[in-house]
Amino acid sequence: MKYLIIYILFLFCGQQRYSQATNYFSIIKDTVRVPKENKVLNSEYIINTLKNGTTFQLIKASNSKFYLRIVTSENLYFNKTDMLEIKSGSKSFFAKETTNFQLNKNTGYYFIEIYKNYIGTLKDEGITGLKFDKAITKYNKQDCNQIKQMAKFFYESFCVKNNIK
């Protein structure tokens, strides 16, 4: 009887894990405001929130550009413009003249244009940290893996599909 219960639990947990993995991300259609251009564009995006509250959003806008929006509640420098370094393992992406926009009194966000090849880097390496001004934010392996999964889904949904056309 004990083995039967363990077997049933194993089957249930295995099925639950598989079903969550395949439908973990979904594509959302909405508008997005591009602060540097002061434009509102139609877009499709994927969003992922980490345990520390940081939210990553990969966006494909109607102008055929890709964007990354990072909402954070730590290391805030509201309305300061500086270089944002996004670390992906041993690689880095540098976004010049990036502003930390204020969302509310406890959160700010970065909105940067990224390139298709960088989405491939995110898919393989994830994001291990951010550096803005003197503030450094690091992400653990679990958070990095979540970002990898999100980037992989986004890459397969938008980047690979476009190469087939």
- Domain annotation covers residue 128: yes
What are the strands, taking DSSP E only, across the chain? 28-34, 39-49, 55-61, 66-72, 81-88, 91-99, 101-104, 107-114, 129-132, 135-138
Instruction: Report how many domains make up the chain.
Output: 1
Strand partners, 96: none
Three-class SS state of 158: helix
Please state, in angstroms and rounded to a whole number, the distance separating the CA atoms of residues 28 and 42.
11
Q: What is the pLDDT of residue 46?
A: 96
**DSSP tag of 140:** -
Please report where in the chains the tokens 């540097």 appear, as a residue: 36
Task: Report how far residue 36's alpha carbon sits from residue 54's, in angstroms, rounded to the nearest whole number.
Answer: 22
Residue 146, helix vs strand vs coil: helix
In a domain, 92, yes or no: yes
Q: Considering the domain boundaries, does residue 77 fall inside one?
A: yes
Q: pLDDT class for 161, splitting at 50, 70, 90? A: low
| Residue 10 domain flag | no
Residue 136 has pLDDT above 60, yes or no: yes
Confidence of residue 95 (pLDDT cuts 50, 70, 90): very high
Residue 3 in any domain: the answer is no
Residue 15: pLDDT band (50, 70, 90) is: very low
**pLDDT recorded at residue 159:** 85
Domain at 149, CATH number: 2.60.40
34-74 tens-digit pLDDT: 998 899 999 999 999 998 889 999 999 999 999 999 999 88
> For residue 47, what are the domain limits?
27-164
pLDDT beyond 70 at 163: no
pLDDT at 160: 78
In a domain, residue 117? The reply is: yes
In the structure encoding, which two tokens stand for residue 139, read together? 């992400």
What is the average pLDDT across 12-21?
45
- pLDDT value of position 53: 87
Which DSSP state fits 137? E
- Does some domain include residue 12? no
Quick check: is 2 in a domain? no
